[in-house]
Amino acid sequence: MLNLFGANMIYPEFFDRVEKIRLQDPLSDFLGTFKDGIVEFSYLDIVKASGHSCPTVAGAYLVCLEGLKALYNNEIAKRGDIHVSFPDDSEEGVQGVIANVATHITGATEKYGFKGIAGNFVRRSLMEFNVEINSSVKFRRVDTGKSVEVIYDPSSIPGDPQQMVLMQKILKKIATNDEKIAFGVMWQNRVKNIFDNIDKVIKVI
């Protein structure tokens, strides 16, 4: 179940089995950050940035993984050249969580992102909310205008029935240590099952 990372970071081993997202980042290449600007994001990278692993973070990772595959076909995705649209406001529900993951992976931001260097490598104004789309997210290539939409629906992958019972006990501060551990295992098992059933939870339009 668990894997040791470095000296003291322990996490579910399935994190390491999730397919990585590979991109080419012209800004990283320009500034000598990564050779040829080639950069990879793992699910573990996104979990560390988000601070947790849950069905929402997993779904955000998957819509980027599968959406960018469809958007670029056999080409490597170009980080910083991807416009991302969402149907809801950034403060509504979990939209902000999903957008945060998309920003980490694509580099796209709404207003606060990198302003660029002499008109190059601009990252802000590449993310938009409250867009009329019938999907979870829309990705559009800035260079070609090609776009794809992705629907994420994890409802077919239920959690353990005891999960909510244990959550309430933890929130009420009456759970035992064993119950706290059991809850975490149940929670991550659902996330694992989501990754094991990508075809059921992801639809690319």
Mean pLDDT over the full length of the chain: 92
Report the first-to-last Cα separation within the chain, whole angstroms.
35
**What is d(CA 83, CA 87) in angstroms, rounded to the nearest whole number?**
14
The residue whose two tokens read 């929130």 is 171
Q: Which stretches within the chain are classed as H helix?
A: 26-30, 43-50, 55-72, 95-106, 162-171, 177-196, 198-201
Over residues 136-156, the mean pLDDT reads 97
- For 49, residues 6+ apart whose C-beta sits below 8 A from its C-beta are 100, 101, 104
What is the band of 112 on the pLDDT scale with cuts at 50, 70, 90?
A: confident
> For position 181, what pLDDT does the model report?
95
Q: What is the pTM of this model?
A: 0.92
Over residues 137-161, the mean pLDDT reads 96
Instruction: Please tell me whether residue 117 adopts helix, strand or coil conformation.
Output: strand
Over residues 140-169, the mean pLDDT reads 96
Overall fold of domain 2-154+199-204: 60s Ribosomal Protein L30; Chain: A; (3.30.1330)
List the chain domain ranges.
2-154+199-204
pLDDT digits (tens, 9 = 90+) for 15-46: 999 999 999 998 888 889 899 999 999 999 99
